[in-house]
Structure 1
Amino acid sequence: MRDLRQFWSARRIGENRVSLARLGPLKLWVSRNDQEWAYACEYGDLSDVQDIAQVPFDVIPEGMEWTKTVFASAPREVRFQPTVPDRPLVVKPEHPVVIPVGELGLFFVLMPVFISIRVEDKGKEIELGIVPSRQLSDTWFGHPTVGEFCYSLPFAAERDFSVLNPYPHHVVCPIQIKNRSDESLVFEKLCFRPNYVSLYCGNRHLWSSKVGIKHDGNFKGTNIRYEGLQPEMEDDALKVASAVKQTDKGLHRLTFHSGFKNDFIIGR
């Protein structure tokens, strides 16, 4: 499967059959019989593999935990829908980055895609479940008494897209930060809420719509706009998922303190 877009297309699974979908470190097993759909997943090492194939039952590992959905008559087709993580993501550059007054910087962030497993029954789509393409570590963002439960991203935000080397299970998220305050902004970490971005799929990479941040100062707030535009780096990228939440006027959040210990929040 050379074109990543094929992974997200609908496919038919025969009765009493099982298919194995591999995307990066994820192995997703999907089976169907006449009255039931079921899925189970396991994780391995990072990989650039992306394929789906019918496999015999005897290759399924023992002890798998299956999630099952029952029907009077099970639909025949299944589709994988790319979606975003269910929590905010804490993003860090490799080293703190200073953005002087009036300057801006474009950063690229790699976000593991989550997969919504869907079937169509009597003209409506039914979600069997959502699985992450990679297991992420839990983290806390903010102060000990005031903060948010998040995932920690294992890769640093980069200024140069060419050094990222994204895998097929990664969503490349372009985030532009502009400093409109009267003092330098130190970007050490940010809390990125991905449920405001749309997803696009090109030949090789998944992309999110662009995020624009305008920082006015620690006590004046930060304006965040999720532009919803097709990524500029792949002209033939197709929109594959709309934003989970919509916002028209941009969101506002404060930054806290100054220097290398400040927390920088994106989203609500």
Structure 2
Amino acid sequence: MAQSIFKTYTINEGEDALHLNLDSLHVWIKKQNQEFWISYLHTDDTYSAPQIDEQTEWERWAPKGDETEVRVRPVFPDLPVVVSSEYPLKLVPEANIHVYCRVSAWMEISLVKSNYVLHEIPVTKLSRTWFGNTMEGELCYWLTSKARRSLEQVEGKPYLINCPIQITNKSHTDLNFERFCFRVERLGIYSVSENFWADETKILYHGEEQHSDVTMTGKLPKSLGKGELISKARNPVSRSLATRTFKMLFDDTLISSR
């Protein structure tokens, strides 16, 4: 399975560049003049691999010591993502549902000995959007995949992270579940049966004008077992946070592509 691309590699001085490919992303890593060189691009051509040549642009790092190994692992995006529901759904007061969304990983490349992160590259390009209004909000990525009630009929892919979410409507009115802000930078990534999973998120909705209570449990759902922790959360929280979660986007406008 292509998930095995996430592992440790030995990069020796003067050898041909290591070529890694996941979906539309192509990455090359080599060591030259005691420096680590990295180049990458996204392509829509899935039938022929692009080639590097003298015109290829490289980013270069000079390590502080003798390093030969790099670690490639999946990490979550560095901003929250806006997730849309597979279909509009109303949650009546006290209703509780479980949904799942799948987030495309970023490829983190780091030096093994010093644990220094050289690069983080999105496996798939993400567009940025503003979650909020003209007075308050935050910059997010727009997620093209949808939140679903089940993943049974969905094809697994080696760069997608399955994210279990539990939503409870604690308000006195219906919750129009159409889209929400999902703070993936607070989640870890686990390997379970050759798939990537995030720890479970629990959201208590208190009303349109109120903050929601969001808890990152730090644990997988019991049905999945323990799993192996692959990547820790970028911005871990010890318990829960109160934040805007269900809110309309400002003009539904996509800002730019990364």
The aligned residue for residue 159 of structure 1 is: 149
The aligned residue for residue 22 of structure 1 is: 21
Cα distance in 2, alignment partners of residues 9 and 76 from structure 1: 14
User: Secondary structure of 1:165's partner?
Assistant: coil
Cα distance in 2, alignment partners of residues 255 and 201 from structure 1: 27
Range moving further from structure 2, 136-145 or 125-134? 136-145
Q: Tell me by how many angstroms 1:171 deviates.
A: 0.9
Change beyond 3 A, Cα 1:72–1:216? closer
| CA deviations over 1:146-186 (Å, ceiling 9, x no partner) | 22221111111111112332321111111110111111111
Q: Tell me by how many angstroms 1:242 deviates.
A: 1.1
Q: Give TM-score scaled by structure 1 length.
A: 0.82
Q: Give TM-score scaled by structure 2 length.
A: 0.85
The aligned residue for residue 100 of structure 1 is: 92
1:79 aligns with one of 31, 47, 71: 71
What letter is aligned with 1:169?
Answer: Y
The Cα RMSD (Å) is 2.6
Q: Is the CA contact (8 Å cut-off) linking 1:209 and 1:230 kept in structure 2?
A: yes
Q: Is the CA contact (8 Å cut-off) linking 2:28 and 2:39 kept in structure 1?
A: yes
Structure 1 unaligned regions, length at least 5: 48-54, 264-268
The aligned residue for residue 13 of structure 1 is: 11
1:227 aligns with one of 214, 217, 222: 217
The aligned residue for residue 171 of structure 1 is: 161
2:233 aligns with one of 243, 260, 268: 243
The aligned residue for residue 188 of structure 1 is: 178
The aligned residue for residue 205 of structure 1 is: 195
Q: Is the CA contact (8 Å cut-off) linking 1:97 and 1:188 kept in structure 2?
A: yes
Change beyond 3 A, Cα 1:15–1:254? closer
Q: Does 1:139 align with 2:129?
A: yes
Change beyond 3 A, Cα 1:171–1:79? same
Change beyond 3 A, Cα 1:95–1:193? same
Work out the number of aligned pairs and report it: 247
Percent of matched pairs sharing the same residue: 26
Q: Tell me by how many angstroms 1:28 deviates.
A: 1.1
